[in-house]
Amino acid sequence: MKVFISHKKEDNLYALNIKNALKSCQIDAYLDLLDEDISGDGEELTDHIKEQLRICTDVIVVLSEKTKDSWWVPFEIGMATEKDMPIANYLVEGIVLPDYLEFWPRLKNYNDVCKYVEVRKEIREHYGRPRYIFESNILHPGESETRAFYRKLKQELK
């Protein structure tokens, strides 16, 4: 499991806190502010972001009032959605989400990031099992792994 942390530059501190929370759970993460290979813009930067998303399994998006001015965060969300990657929003205090972002689970603190990891590992483990031993309270027939993760994480975050 490797998590792509999507954020606006002004939210670097929140992104670093998420990376540290993931690291404490032994989860690798990609964070562009720690990436010395980034250079250029336009097509070169787009290709770099696409490659990083390709090698990640999940996306956590830092959402703040500043995110509304971002071009890259919506691009990264769109790429992850296209790949059916699990996505969660990390809400900076006071943010009100637009309707289209309400679909994904909402993380609000360090403990929620740890809960994300716990539920993600649990769902991945269950999807590795033969269908006949799925526990009905974890997985529903015909439900994708990503949808099962969203449902379970939302239940756990209540």
Q: Band the pLDDT of 41: cuts 50, 70, 90.
A: low
pLDDT digits (tens, 9 = 90+) for 59-68: 999 999 888 8
Domain range for residue 68? 2-157
pLDDT at 131: 52
Closest by alpha carbon to 156, among 122, 121, 119? 119
pLDDT at 27: 96
> Which residue's structure tokens are 């250029």?
40
Mean pLDDT (whole number) for 114-126: 91
Measured CA to CA, the distance from residue 18 to residue 6 in angstroms comes to 11
Helix (H, G, I), strand (E, B) or coil at 36: coil
Q: Band the pLDDT of 7: cuts 50, 70, 90.
A: very high
pLDDT at 111 exceeding the cut of 90: yes
Of residues 35 and 55, the one with the higher pLDDT is 55
Mean pLDDT (whole number) for 46-67: 90
* pTM (2 d.p.): 0.86
Q: Band the pLDDT of 132: cuts 50, 70, 90.
A: very low
CATH of the domain at 151: 3.40.50.10140
Closest by alpha carbon to 105, among 156, 56, 41? 156
- Identify whether the C-beta of residue 75 lies closer than 8 Å to the C-beta of residue 8: no
Measured CA to CA, the distance from residue 107 to residue 57 in angstroms comes to 18
Provide the Cα torsion 151, 153, 157, 158; round to 10°.
Answer: 20
Q: Burial code of 36-65, b = ≥16 C-beta within 10 A, e = fewer?
A: eeeeeeeeeeeebbeebbeebbbbbbbbbe
pLDDT at 134 exceeding the cut of 90: no
